[in-house]
């Protein structure tokens, strides 16, 4: 399913509304002056409200046809799968995602 490419400037949360911040970025491709997020990029989660809070997360799947540095880019649609540690719940891309570049 096509979707907009996710970049580091987008707001990403864990399933319990904790704020997820990208800590590993590849500065080769920029969108809206922010780096594109690729599969495997680590996130640090703060403010998770779960009894066992999410600490970190990463995207595990992304675009099929668009790559940066050999890695699939993450799309801001449900097709891009992710996982938080230790809860195994997903990350969710919220507001701030760019709306100019789409990928498949």
DSSP structure string for 53-77: ---EEEE----SS-EETTEEBPBSS
Q: What is the pTM of this model?
A: 0.85
Q: What is the mean pLDDT of the chain?
A: 88
CA–chain centroid gap for 41, Å, is 8
1 pLDDT tier (thresholds 50, 70, 90) = low
Domains of the chain: 1-97 (2.60.200.60)
């Amino acid at each position: 399913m096509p979707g907009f490419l996710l970049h580091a400037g987008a707001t990403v949360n864990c399933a319990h509304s904790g704020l997820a911040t990208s800590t590993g970025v590849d500065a080769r491709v920029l969108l809206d002056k922010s780096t594109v997020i690729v599969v495997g990029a680590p996130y640090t989660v703060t403010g998770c409200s779960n009894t066992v809070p999410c600490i970190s997360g990463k995207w595990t799947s992304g675009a099929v046809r668009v790559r940066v540095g050999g890695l699939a880019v993450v799309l801001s649609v449900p097709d891009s799968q992710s996982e938080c540690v230790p809860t195994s719940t997903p990350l969710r891309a919220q507001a701030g995602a760019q709306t100019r570049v789409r990928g498949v």
